[in-house]
Structure 1
Amino acid sequence: MTDQQLSVQPSTRRDALTFCVFGVLVFAVNVFLYLSGFELHQAVWGLMYIASAALFFLGVAKLIEPPISLMISPREIRYEHRRGTWHIDWENVIRFDIPRVHRGAELEELPYIGFRLKDIEPVLDTISPRLAVHLVSEQRHLLAAALRRELASGGDYTPYYDIPTSYKTASGKVYRGVQALFAVRCEQLRQLLGYDLYVPSSALDRPLDEFCQWLHQVESHRHNVDQL
């Protein structure tokens, strides 16, 4: 089996330098006009300073994102985030696709790629605590959307937001703390949407449907992944 890896660059890093440059440029123009005695309303000066800061810090936020969001090898898929990583073996993947929720008689795609696993334990054993906490927080809106669309209206959502004290896997292993919190969230999303782990579209380098098709090709030819 080859050790060749495929890498995916997140779309969130696109135009990062452009945002930084424009932020600095707007600030420089603002300072130049001010020193030149150009008269503007105080609110306009404030808006220009806010705009320059917003552009610059947005660019910085893009720059601090990891240059690679996914590393795909013949053995595993690794998700890279500035708060940590998770990885899953291909042999542990049952299926992956774009999760969907019901909107009336139609299905609406959510901006994620979902992975359904045979066993969540390997992920719980290796995920970094900071990333686990971040994903639980980041996916609150995903859980909310799933609850609204997939559960009967008027249902009690409170149990879905309770903080668990522990989580017991099918093998009998008990997790506590951050691992238990993350495990319960994965289980909830699995019940509602059919998948355990979710990668947002912003972490991908192409549209969701194209990425999903490409990943299926990688899966089919993963022993020759260097040829894709």
Structure 2
Amino acid sequence: MTDPELTVEPTARRDALTFCVFGVLVFAVTLFFYLAGFELPQAAWGLMYIASAALFFLGIAKLVEPQVSLVLSPTEVRYEHRRGTWHFNWDNLIRFDIPRTQRGGEVEELPYIGFRLNNIEPVLDSISPRLAVYLVSEQRHLLAAALRRELPAGTDYTPYYDIPSYYKSANGQVYRGVQALFAVRCQQLRELLGYDLYVPSSALDRPLDEFCRWLQQVQQHRHQVDPE
């Protein structure tokens, strides 16, 4: 009998149908008022139509998100995204936690869970180009926050945003193109925040601190876990 896989459903998908229904409802009410001859300022009509469209498309955006964001098996952790996946073996994992920045006496938790790996190569070899490009773009604000908080004031940030021509791993493997870009970003975030890979809180099914405790239990007992 094989060990069960645990899956994590992202909070980003919650209330998707509710947003769609409210969007249609606002549009229907606006259309009814318009056909009934209600006199409203032109800006009010426009605002109501924009609100209905925003609600509807937000619901659609939630619906197209994968139903599962993380898959935890006894051997690996796999991140699922509509643009692709990455995965690594448990044995390759050094640690995970909520990344934090600190300046002076102020500590700020970032809305992610970070994973620090012993070897990033398996991720570079398996990640889809579309997901790599998306993550580099998505994590620009994470990099910016880390640069502002972790480096001395007045530091030149330009090198952190240069596009690399290649990346050479610790084992001597050379990566180019999208893989090199993603590898360098992982390296930068590892230097600044201590982790290679980051999963946003919106992709999780519970608060970050609670998720970390649960994931620690899964890691310790992954060969006899039971889905919650």
Place the TM-score, normalised by the shorter chain, in its bin. over 0.9
What letter is aligned with 1:35? Answer: L
Shift in Å at residue 38 of structure 1? 1.3
Query: Alignment length, in residue pairs?
Result: 228
Q: How does 1:114-129 map to 2 (within 5 A)?
A: 114-129=114-129
- Structure 1 segments (4+ residues) deviating >4 Å: none
Distance 2:187 2:170 in 1: 12
Q: Aligned residue for 2:136?
A: 136
Which amino acid is the alignment partner of residue 110 of structure 2?
A: L
Look up the SS of the partner of 1:123 in the other structure: helix
Give 1:1-228 correspondences, 5 Å limit.
Answer: 2-226=2-226
Paired with 1:151 and 1:2, the residues of 2 have a C-alpha distance of 47
5+ residue gaps, structure 2, are none
Shift of 1:41: 1.1
Which digits, 9 at most, give the CA deviation of each residue in 1:138-168, with x for residues without a partner? 0000000111111111111110000000000
Deviation at 1:227, TM superposition (A): 6.0
Q: Distance in 1 between matches of 2:10 and 2:103?
A: 29
TM-score by length of 1: 0.98
Deviation at 1:225, TM superposition (A): 1.9
Distance 1:116 1:220 in 2: 17
The SS at the match of 1:223 is coil
Contact 2:166 2:175 in 1 (8 A): yes
Q: Which runs of 5+ in 1 are unaligned?
A: none
Whole-angstrom distance in 1 between the partners of 2:67 and 2:188: 31
Q: Is the contact made by 1:9 and 1:204 (CA closer than 8 Å) also made in structure 2?
A: yes
Q: What SS does the aligned partner of 1:78 have?
A: strand
Tell me the TM-score normalised to structure 2 length.
0.98
Aligned-partner residue type, residue 75 of structure 1: T
SS of aligned partner of 2:85: strand
Indicate if the aligned counterparts of 1:7 and 1:71 stay in contact, CA closer than 8 A.
Answer: yes
Displacement of 1:29 in angstroms is 0.6
Quick one: which amino acid aligns to residue 158 of structure 1? T
Is this contact kept in 1: 2:3–2:223, CA < 8 A?
Answer: no
Identity %: 79
What per-residue deviation string (whole Å, max 9, x for no partner) do you get for residues 35-69 of structure 1? Answer: 11111111111110000000000000000000100
* Shift in Å, 1:104: 2.4
Task: Give the secondary structure class of the aligned counterpart of 1:222.
Answer: coil
Please give the alpha-carbon distance, in whole angstroms, between the structure 2 residues aligned to 1:14 and 1:24.
Answer: 18
Alpha-carbon shift at residue 103 of structure 1 (Å): 3.5
